[in-house]
Amino acid sequence: MRTTLGDHHVPGFGVTLAEQAERYPGPTGEWQPVHTVYVPADRVDRHTVRSWGDAALGLLERHLPGDAELSPVFGPLPAGLAAAVRRRVVLKLAGEPVEDLRIDFEDGYGVRPGEEEDAHVRNAAETVAAMHAEGTLPRRWGLRVKSFADGDAARSLRTLDGFLTGVTEHLGEIPDGLTITFPKVLMEAYLGQFASRLAALEEGLGLGEGTLRFEMQVEAPQTVMFLMRSRDLVPSLGGRLAAAHFGVFDYTAACGLSPAEQRLDHPVCDHAREVMRTALAGTGVELSDGSLAASPSSDTTEDVHALWRAHAAMVRHSLRNGFYQGWDMHPSHLVSRYATVYAFHLANHEAYAERVRAWEARRGAGGGVMDEPATIKTLTATLHRAHLALGDPSTTDA
């Protein structure tokens, strides 16, 4: 082959390629919880996870006793899928009702006298130690500290320090799965300041470097703006930023929306989430959506179903937009969360698997589908995520 250039070396290419690999390592492929359950610190105890599961199971048995009721409540399901979804929900609520537990010292807890918060910090550490000893500590767990933006960084760090010190004293270690939630990040500088204190805590507690990671909450337009303009945010935090969680109510309030418009599917929320996705694409930082701040207005089937329909619609909106995790604030949400997630992953599972098999065999997938390599990559990732979310394949009926 004849060429014009004698040397096809690109100056600086190796350095740029290495920087790309460092900045954009891509998704880890590891398990990500489908939700985070927030429980105020003054209400959490060693039985919280089981009590939430029992409460959710009770609601399911009273208000959704058969498979036929699933479609009217959670949306149209393909034929034969309702039984598989309901069975999975029952098994999940009985075995692992909470995948990610956050003990809340922020909005759900409020401002308390220092001695009172200290006491709740000690109780939270004892609770984690008891759950760990009993085998009931969720796969992800941690606490949400107060925001630096509220003006008392010292209280935020005292709570974090006391909690981690207490857990370490009780157990001699920090169990796997710890994540710290850092809310209301109005200034980018707060992230670096918080990360530096995590490093100091690691050294003081004798923990390995990188043990303490955190998730930032995106709850204000200011946060969206610095996400848009910051090129070095994730690298500057030295791998400590694990996730970004969207806070729908603070965000919509900051945007001046009326209470009736404070909902996950509002266009201003869609915009904020798209900025989060774009700013953090390829970095390995997980994304999570927010919550529905509602519970059944009574224990009548009509009111429970109304809550489940509303919550399922929000969860489905998140899933369709590529946000596979959200917040759950009440035991009733566990039913609609798992039912919607399982239905979403099971509905197209076999069709997606067939398209991948067809691609690998270099044959048509049927139905006129012509898949591109990028689509096959997405299909494979979707199937992997479904496998992780669905859990034990021996319970699969679809």
Domain segments of the chain as ranges:
33-347, 349-398
Residue 80 confidence (pLDDT): 83
Average pLDDT of the chain is 93
Averaged pLDDT for residues 262-267: 94
| pTM of model > 0.75 | yes
Does 397 score more than 50 pLDDT?
no
Does 228 score more than 80 pLDDT?
yes
Averaged pLDDT for residues 160-174: 97
For the chain, the three-class secondary structure string (H helix, E strand, C coil) is CCCCCCCCCCCCHHHHHHHHHHHCCCCCCCCCCCEEEEEECCCCCCCHHHHHHHHHHHHHHHHCCCHHHHHHHHCCCCCCHHHHHHHHHHHHHHHCCCCEEEEECCCCCCCCCHHHHHHHHHHHHHHHHHHHHHCCCCCEEEEECCCHHHCCHHHHHHHHHHHHHHHHHHHCCCCCCEEEEECCCCCHHHHHHHHHHHHHHHHHHCCCCCCCCEEEEECCHHHHHHHHHCCCHHHHCCCCEEEEEECHHHHHHHCCCCHHHCCCCCHHHHHHHHHHHHHHCCCCCEEECCCCCCCCCCCCHHHHHHHHHHHHHHHHHHHHCCCCCEEECCHHHHHHHHHHHHHHHHHCHHHHHHHHHHHHCCCCCCCCCCCCHHHHHHHHHHHHHHHHHHCCHHHCCC
Q: Could you read off the pLDDT of 319-356 as tens digits, one per residue?
A: 999 999 999 999 999 999 999 999 999 998 888 888 88
For 15-49, the three-class secondary structure string (H helix, E strand, C coil) is HHHHHHHHHCCCCCCCCCCCEEEEEECCCCCCCHH
Residue 392 confidence (pLDDT): 56
Residue 97 confidence (pLDDT): 98
Q: Could you read off the pLDDT of 53-111 as tens digits, one per residue?
A: 999 999 999 999 988 889 999 988 887 899 999 999 999 999 999 999 999 999 999 99
Q: Could you read off the pLDDT of 211-227 as tens digits, one per residue?
A: 999 999 999 999 999 99
Q: Could you read off the pLDDT of 361-383 as tens digits, one per residue?
A: 777 666 656 678 888 888 988 89
- For the 33-347 domain, the top CATH level (class) is alpha beta
Does 394 score more than 60 pLDDT?
no
Which region among 120-129, 171-180, 373-382 has the lowest average model confidence (pLDDT)?
A: 373-382
Residue 370 confidence (pLDDT): 66
Does 143 score more than 50 pLDDT?
yes
Residue 303 confidence (pLDDT): 97
